[in-house]
Structure formats: structure tokens, C-alpha cells
Structure 1
Amino acid sequence: MGGRSSSSAPPPSPLFSKPWRTINWEFKERDLQYVKSYKPQTDGQQLRILLHGPVGVGKSSFINSVQSVVKGKMSKNAGVANISGSTQTRKYNTYMIQKDGQNTFCSFVLNDTMGLECNTNRRRKVYVKDIKQAMKGRVRDGYTFNPECKISKEDPKYNPDPTANDKVHVLVCVVDASTVSQMSDKVIETLQDIREEASDLGIPQVAILTKIDLICPEIKKDIKNVYRSKILKKKMEEFSAAVGYPMNSIFPVKNYHEETNFNSDIDSLILSVVRDII
């Protein structure tokens, strides 16, 4: 008996037919100029951007990537840990972003913090308290974080009289896109607590999802697929629902990590994120 052969349907595409968020990839130079020339409304003001998040998510790598793209030269000023789940950052460091000349800098700075470790309730509470003090401008540059003990008023790195420039103006939560589904309730609760503290202080918040090339082969193949990726959009929606950041305040980014040469599309994505933060 003969029968008609049946062919299985092709697997669904991992990409949307059209991007669900637009980015002008050809406007890299425009965004670079915007970042370099940005000036806060208040004369002499410096925009302070504080990064926080779990250990090993790429906070330091993001700082290095921003420095590299703006400066036009690969930078490794912020220490990066090579061991998964570990943190290289123990000090509260302020990074000025050099632009055209040796002594010319952008009007914003990036602050790196120790990664969140949620293995004990004490560490979680200490982390939230230290981040809150940093947001208030009460933590001086160079302070060494102690996961077991929050900064005290007797510490020489405690700033009792913060100026407008010492205070944080934008809080950035950095999360590894490949671990969003595995975030524990304790991590989610801590990130929510910090977001609420920032809201109470009137500080706007955004989130960055890093390592996006690890969750989607189509992004690894071509970074321009970032806003066509169904996997990434799902991860962003998952993070939004868990921690409370609206989708339009969440930005995916590909940090420079293994690369030794610049990639124009990676540059464009990094610059678009920095511009949105500003």
C-alpha cells in the first residue's frame, strides 16, 4: 500500500520577524558624541551612576566596556574575576571616563560595588544598608566592603556631610541574563529592597542584563539580533515580573570580555545603553 509521505513542520524561528525595540546601529558616532559632550543642568554637577547586583554578573566588565568605547582603546581598569560566582570588587571605586585627551573626562562617573552574596541573612542586610549609604553619598571612594558588617560612622571612609556630587543620581541593577531563571527568592527580595530604598530617596533606577550572547545563539552570531530574540525578550519579561523594573527600564548589553578588537555593533549597543541611562 502506498501513502503520501508526511514531512514534519519546520521548528519555530528563535527570532521575531521584526525587532520589538529599535536601535539605530548606524548612529554610533552620534551617541558617542552625546555621551562625551553630556553636561548636567546644574553647572559643575557630576552625574554619579551606581552599579550593584549579584556576584559575577559583569559590573566591572561593563565599566571597562564603557571606558573602552568612549576612549577608543581597550581598558581594564576595573578588576574582573575569572572565577564563576566570585567577586573581584571589594572596594567602593569611582571610575571617571576619559574621553579625548589625557586629562579630559565625561561629566558622569561609574561606581562599582561588591557583588551581592545571599548565603546568609546577615550578609543580605549588610549589603542593602551599605548600598543605601552609598546612594546617600555617605561612602567615600576606596571604602573596603565587609560582607559581615555595614560601614560605621567611625570609619574614616564614612562621609558625614555628602555634597550633591557625592550622592548617587542613577541606580543600575546589573544581572546575568543566563541566570535570571535561577535567581533565588533571597536575591530577588534583596534587589527589590534596594530598588525600594532608591525610590524612597528619589533616585531613578534601570537594570542591565549582561551576557546576552550566552542565552541566544542568534545574538552570538549577530549582535543586531538583540531585539529580535524571543529568548532574550522572555528573560527580560521574567526579570521585570520578579524584581519590578518596567520593561522600558531594562537594557540588554554585550560587554567586551574575550575580544581584543572593537566591534562596531557591540559599541553601538553599549553607547545606546549609556545614553539611555543618562
Structure 2
Amino acid sequence: WGSNWVLATFSVTTRNVQEDRQYVQEYKPAQDNIKYLRVLLYGPVGHGKSSFINSVSNVIRGRISIPALASATLSNKSFTKMFETHKFNKGRGNEKTIYPVVFNDIMGVEEGESRGVHEDDIKLALKGHVKEGHKFNPISPLTQRDPGYNPTPSDDDKVHVLVCVISANASQIKPSVLQKMKNVRETASNLKIPQMAMMTHIDEACGETEKDLKNVYKSKHLKKKVSFRPFVGIPMNCVFPVKNYSHEIDLNDDTDTVILSALRKMIDFGDDFIEKM
């Protein structure tokens, strides 16, 4: 998969999960006036955006949890309808605080002009103009006249890292969907927002990886699945294979490792952006 993937293979087999978890738990944004590093997940319907949010919650809290409702199947209709910020609690009672990394889950990108999230709404979200709880309307994108429009976004409201989520187990992605995603990427690039991609469902797409998650970087089959990369233009060293928690009732180190590997990069990329704001 290239030199980046060779290094990643080493990290999967040797990285200390507890060390990575501590890195995430102890992170603080580079600028004191910013409480949260904001990650926006986008991509086709049913490719694992909400499931990744749940998986992150599991990993940093050290137990199975379900902060984001997610569909159990790869559907052609978006399960997420509203713009929602997912925050993760640290501690309990009077000592309860919020981890300084938050995720925005949005309606999935679909084929056609009147289905799924409108690309203009994603662009507005990047700039912090979408209010919490806004219900997406595929036919009519958000305007300045709508109650869901935030006219004066703070630096906390703006997106600090944009993450494209693609399933390795999905069939061919429609050209119109890829074009919408490309348009969003161009806007993010103009805003200097760092970008990366996650390839989910790697265990379902490759038998060897399903047997042993450490085989992910050796899989020629998964390498072919990165065929979406030229369309959305994300460099290979910014594409991360991920297995989300789905049916498990307990955590395991191999799954935690690939999730934490992607999460650490989100924090690093986002914090570099925050430092320059």
C-alpha cells in the first residue's frame, strides 16, 4: 500500500492502546478560546458515520455505548436527519466534563437533486452556519432566512477537520454522489480545513481481515477498494481503514487500535488548523 501503510502495519501490531487512549483523553485545543475540536463526518448513506461516532465513544470511555443512533444495515436512505453535535462525557456527577473533541453527524450524500443532504448545507456546516438540531431538507438547502441558520458562528462552531467516510463493502458509488463530495472537498480546501478519509467495514469486505484485523495492511483486496481515492482526491497517507463496533458486547485491542489510529490523526490535523486560526 506504500511506505505509509508499511509504517501503519507496524503500529497496528505494536502500538499501546492505553497510550493512544490517554493521548485522546488528555488532549486540549491549541487555542484557549476554543473549547472543542470539531470533526465533521460526511459521505454516502449507510457507510458508517454514526457507527464510527459510537465506536469512538466506546474506545475513549472504555465501554460499549450508543451516543449516536445508527442503522444496522447498509441502506439507501439516510438514518440521520438532523445536524447534531456528539459530545462524550468524562467522569460522573459533579466531576463530569466533556472531552474536547466533538463530532458532527449529518444526513448522508445521495444520488439526485432531491435526496440526501444538499451539498450547500455541508458547505455551510463547514463555516459554522448550521445550528444544532437543524433538520436537513434535501429539496431546499438552508438559507439565511431559516431559523436553523447561524449568522455569527464562533471559532467553536466552525469545523476543524473534515472526514470522508466510505465503506469498503459498498458497491460502486454513483458519479453524482462523488461529484457532490468533490465539491464539498473543494470548499473545505478553500477554507484550508484539513481533510482525511476512513474506509469502514473492512472486516466484512475481506475474509483475511475478518479473521485477524492485523491483516488489514496486507490485504490486496482492500487495496483495490481504495479505488474511490482518485475521485475524492484524498492522499493515501490520509486514508485510514477502520472497523466499527457493531455486534460486539465487549471491547478488543485490535479494533480499538485502528479506531484510535484514525482518531489521533483527526486530532493532530485539527489541532494544527486550530493553531493557525
**Matching residue of 1:178:** 169
Alpha-carbon shift at residue 34 of structure 1 (Å): 0.5
**Greater per-residue helix proportion:** 2
**Matching residue of 1:106:** 99
Superposed, 1:19-30 pairs within 5 Å as 20=6, 21-22=8-9, 23-25=11-13, 26-30=15-19
**Matching residue of 1:259:** 248
> Does the Cα contact within 8 Å between 1:122 and 1:148 map onto a contact in 2?
yes
Aligned pair partner of 1:54 in 37, 44, 53: 44
Superposed, 1:124-203 pairs within 5 Å as 127-179=118-170, 182-203=172-193
Length-normalised TM-score, structure 1: 0.88
**Matching residue of 1:204:** 194
**Matching residue of 2:205:** 215
Residues 1:87 and 2:57 are matched in the alignment: no
**Matching residue of 2:260:** 271
Secondary structure, in 3 states, of the residue corresponding to 2:85?
Answer: strand
Residues 1:250 and 2:243 are matched in the alignment: no
Identity %: 47
Aligned pair partner of 1:232 in 217, 222, 229: 222
**Matching residue of 2:270:** none
- In the TM superposition, what whole-angstrom CA distance separates every residue of 1:192-214 from its partner, at most 9, and x where no partner exists? 11110100111111111100111
Length-normalised TM-score, structure 2: 0.88
Letter in 2 for 1:163: S
Aligned pair partner of 2:109 in 104, 116, 119: 116
Unmatched runs of 5 consecutive residues or more in structure 2: 268-277
> Does the Cα contact within 8 Å between 1:208 and 1:250 map onto a contact in 2?
yes
> Does the Cα contact within 8 Å between 2:90 and 2:98 map onto a contact in 1?
yes
Alpha-carbon shift at residue 123 of structure 1 (Å): 4.3
Alpha-carbon shift at residue 101 of structure 1 (Å): 3.9
Secondary structure, in 3 states, of the residue corresponding to 1:142?
Answer: coil
- In the TM superposition, what whole-angstrom CA distance separates every residue of 1:19-53 from its partner, at most 9, and x where no partner exists? 63332444111110010111111014121100011
> Does the Cα contact within 8 Å between 2:12 and 2:254 map onto a contact in 1?
no
- In the TM superposition, what whole-angstrom CA distance separates every residue of 1:62-120 from its partner, at most 9, and x where no partner exists? 000000111112111211123422321101000112234452221110000001111x2
- How many pairs align? 258
Aligned pair partner of 1:71 in 46, 58, 61: 61
Letter in 2 for 1:31: D
Secondary structure, in 3 states, of the residue corresponding to 1:208?
Answer: strand
What is the CA–CA distance in structure 2 between the aligned matches of 1:144 and 1:207, rounded to whole Å? 25
Unmatched runs of 5 consecutive residues or more in structure 1: 1-14
RMSD after superposition? 1.8
> Does the Cα contact within 8 Å between 1:70 and 1:99 map onto a contact in 2?
no
